[in-house]
Chain A
Amino acid sequence: METKNVMIVGVGGQGSLLASKLLGHLLLSCGYDVKVSEVHGMSQRGGSVVTYVRWGDKVYSPVIDKGEADFIVSFELLEAARYIPYLKKGGVIVTNTQQIDPMPVITGAAAYPENLVEKIAAAGIAIDAMDCLTLAEQAGSLKAVNIVLLGRLSHYFDIPEEKWMASLEAIVPAKFLDVNKKAFEIGKNAGK
């Protein structure tokens, strides 16, 4: 099988590491070779952060380059737009519609682009956008945004739901399991 690529992007501190951990566990349990690459350190302080998840028969490089991502999973709308050059032709963006202003926007040095979802769709890019904060709140915790997103991503994967649940059980602490299972279902059935 050709190597598949998911980029998880967001703003430092949003919880993308748990999402990549869960994906990594899931894909390994499906028998694939898997590599996950993370960023730690200074960029975590509210900066733009990226995690790469790659799987296939044999995966060499731990990073995803421009034009290679099958999916971009984004915790924040501007970050989804930022990494569009990494998307493969025919790739899909699964994104939270939450907007977090970066410092140049806060100080007025730059503007947050308007109507990004529409503009991305108009550029012929498949975008599946949803208000994950509200969906996570419905599930019972604002912190479940990552699982809402993964739930939606699962819609595009040919992996049985039991496998996803097994990985959730292995990665998420028991006391948060119910909330996260609910968040997964809500995410799976959300979107367009």
Chain B
Amino acid sequence: MKELMLGNKAVARGLYEAGCCFISSYPGTPSTEITEEAAKYNEIYCEWAPNEKVAMEAAFGACLAGKRSFCGMKHVGLNVAADPLYTMSYTGVNAGLVIAVADDAGMHSSQNEQDSRHHAIAAKVPMLEPSDSAEALAFTKLAYELSEAYDTPVIIKMCTRVSHSQSVVEPGERSAPVKAYEKNIAKYVMMPGNAKRRHPFVEERTKKIVEYAETAPINRIERGTGKVGVITSSTAYQYTKEVFGDSVSVLKLGMVNPLPVKLILDFAASVETLIVIEELDPIIENHCKALGLTVTGKDKLPMIDEFSQSLIEKALCGSEKESLSLADPIPVRPPVMCAGCPHRGLFYTLNKNKCTVLGDIGCYTLGAVAPLSAIEMTLCMGASVSAVHGFNVASDGDSEKHTVAVIGDSTFMHSGMTGLANIAYNQSNSTVIILDNSITGMTGHQQNPTTGFNLRGDPAGKIDLESLCRAMGFARVRVVDPYNLKECDTVLKEELAADAPSVIISRRPCALLKYVKHKPPVKVDNDKCRGCKSCMKIGCPAVSMKNGKAAIDKTLCVGCGVCGQMCAFGAIEEN
């Protein structure tokens, strides 16, 4: 029966139908729901791994053991997992191995907008690119067939619009082929002698897959009435059809690596003008140019941000739709830390102490936003811990007396531990603050190795952060409650002054977690409030000024009491 399905859920359905038995992933917007949805099928073992590299290696082990396996991540996650990927291309697979990577053109929730197709090309691994949910399901199943037929991992490339759009699919049945594990040192032990013999296999394999791509049904031509031909893929195909309908011929590529040669040359010969419409980098376009074709592409279309039908229409046809507007300026509404967010008190303390804060990836990156404006650097997962060490070693003067790294519990498990090992080993006097909100927050509450629960919410192993840091050699490990500003201030001052590296764990569960019991909203005593706006310095969305007095939004306030600690006149009372 037909149903509307999110692109990510359709990948999960494809995994189920293809008989996938093992999934190991790390959450990352816009990829997270693939693994969450797959976990709803009891036939599939699903786990969150500490990071994408571990996840991909775990999935590789499972495919080696003979079960169809999967690993999902966002685009920057594939950088972390690039190491196993590039060599898995050499070993090939036993049972099928499929990887989904979700790009984020437009950076709805990411720190860059890299194009994952580069990884597929560099690793010499086939990449399929669905343009809607029905293709997401079908391509996932096809990916397993290709993986086993050509002895290679296969990547499904998603993007925000395909991952997070619902369109119509028709689910099918599951069948789960299983293979036996066979010892094969020449294939699976990639030491130089064996790898030298595998590399020619990889090059031959690519040639065979190019042959497949020439006639594969997923690379299809839709003949139009005009003399213009468009080569496109993914969501750009949808925008192309929206703008041009059947007035142009379209070569819709479902496989974006490797790209076909004859198919493209024949298509180009059948039209008068050739246009390539692809988001981000000019990969199909450069392929066409290398084939000697004249194409319109990035000379008219941008390399930044996502596309839309209007963007294509404006760039290629020069026309724009009429639109209305009001004369009043509309204030922006940037994302903010939630009311009651435990990170708020900690960032206020860091700001008050004029700390240089090197940040990391998570909700707490919002600590860079006014009025907290506390974070001065955010790069990638784990970089805060590694960089604070470099910063302190390289700084002249006393940077270690006012510089800290802040990193969330999940991000610390992902890539912070190795940076901490570097501080312990090379002995810089650095201070690392782990913002332990007991969950992976920004991606929508996924468990991690410090929470004590697994992906399905069942009890699991729990890594104790204090013991871990002590075992690494940190003698100074302190735990603070970020709702207690005085405690945060005292401990921060002590650890920055101390002549040794230290870890401060700022511990308080995410205010959005269902099990967290909130207090009633706080109250303002208008007689005591002097309208000094001290309570506004924490940037809580529940606190504002109305008629010269502080006002609390009762629908948002969770009674955390941090604003009350800001008030010198005792005007904000707990209920």
Q: A28-B2, A101-B544, A107-B371 are in contact. Are A66 and B334 (CB under 8 A)?
A: no
Q: How many residues of B contact A (CB 8 A)?
A: 60
Q: Is B491 an interface residue (CB 8 A)?
A: no
Of all chain A residues, the one with the shortest Cβ separation from B369 is A103
Among A40, A67, A113, residue most surrounded by chain B Cβ atoms (within 10 Å):
A40
Across chains A and B, the number of contacting residue pairs, with CB separation under 8 Å, is 183
Mark out the residues of chain A between 56 and 105 whose CB falls within 8 Å of any chain B CB in the assembled complex.
59-63, 65-68, 78-79, 81-82, 84-87, 89, 101-105
Return the CB mask of B28-50 against A: 1 if under 8 Å, else 0. 01101100000000000000000
Q: Is B161 an interface residue (CB 8 A)?
A: yes
Question: Is the CB–CB distance between B326 and A81 below 8 Å?
Answer: yes
Q: A47-B334, A48-B333 are in contact. Are A41 and B235 (CB under 8 A)?
A: no
Question: Is the CB–CB distance between A45 and B338 below 8 Å?
Answer: yes
Q: A42-B442, A45-B337, A81-B326 are in contact. Are A104 and B164 (CB under 8 A)?
A: no
Contacts of A67 in B (CB 8 A): 310, 321-324
Q: A43-B108, A61-B309 are in contact. Are A119 and B335 (CB under 8 A)?
A: no
Question: Is the CB–CB distance between A44 and B335 below 8 Å?
Answer: yes
Q: Is B444 an interface residue (CB 8 A)?
A: yes
Q: Is A15 an interface residue (CB 8 A)?
A: no
Question: Is the CB–CB distance between A41 and B326 below 8 Å?
Answer: no
Q: Is A11 an interface residue (CB 8 A)?
A: yes
CB distance from A63 to the nearest CB of B (A): 5
Contacts of B443 in A (CB 8 A): 41
CB distance from A146 to the nearest CB of B (A): 15
Mark out the residues of chain B between 17 and 32 whose CB falls within 8 Å of any chain A CB in the assembled complex.
29-30, 32
How far apart are the CA atoms of A88 and B545 in the complex, in Å? 37
Q: Is A34 an interface residue (CB 8 A)?
A: yes
Question: Is the CB–CB distance between A40 and B164 below 8 Å?
Answer: yes
Q: Is B539 an interface residue (CB 8 A)?
A: yes
How far apart are the CA atoms of A87 and B369 in the complex, in Å? 31
Contacts of B332 in A (CB 8 A): 48, 102, 104, 110
Contacts of B334 in A (CB 8 A): 47, 102-104
How far apart are the CA atoms of A106 and B552 in the complex, in Å? 11
How far apart are the CA atoms of A125 and B324 in the complex, in Å? 9
Question: Is the CB–CB distance between B165 and A35 below 8 Å?
Answer: yes
Q: Is B381 an interface residue (CB 8 A)?
A: no
Q: Which of A37, A85, A108 contacts B324 (CB 8 A)?
A: A85
CB distance from B162 to the nearest CB of A (A): 8
Q: A38-B165, A40-B29, A61-B309 are in contact. Are A110 and B326 (CB under 8 A)?
A: no
Q: Which of A42, A78, A84 contacts B333 (CB 8 A)?
A: A78
Question: Is the CB–CB distance between B108 and A36 below 8 Å?
Answer: no
| 9 more CB-based (< 8 A) A-B contacts, given A42-B109, A103-B334 | A28-B2, A34-B167, A35-B165, A40-B32, A40-B33, A60-B239, A62-B132, A102-B334, A110-B331
Chain B interface residues toward A at CB < 8 A: 2-4, 6, 29-30, 32-33, 108-109, 132, 161, 164-168, 235, 238-239, 241-242, 308-311, 321-338, 363, 365-366, 369-371, 442-444, 536, 539, 541, 543-545, 555
A–B complex contacts, Cβ < 8 Å, 6 sampled: A24-B4, A28-B168, A41-B109, A46-B336, A61-B242, A125-B324
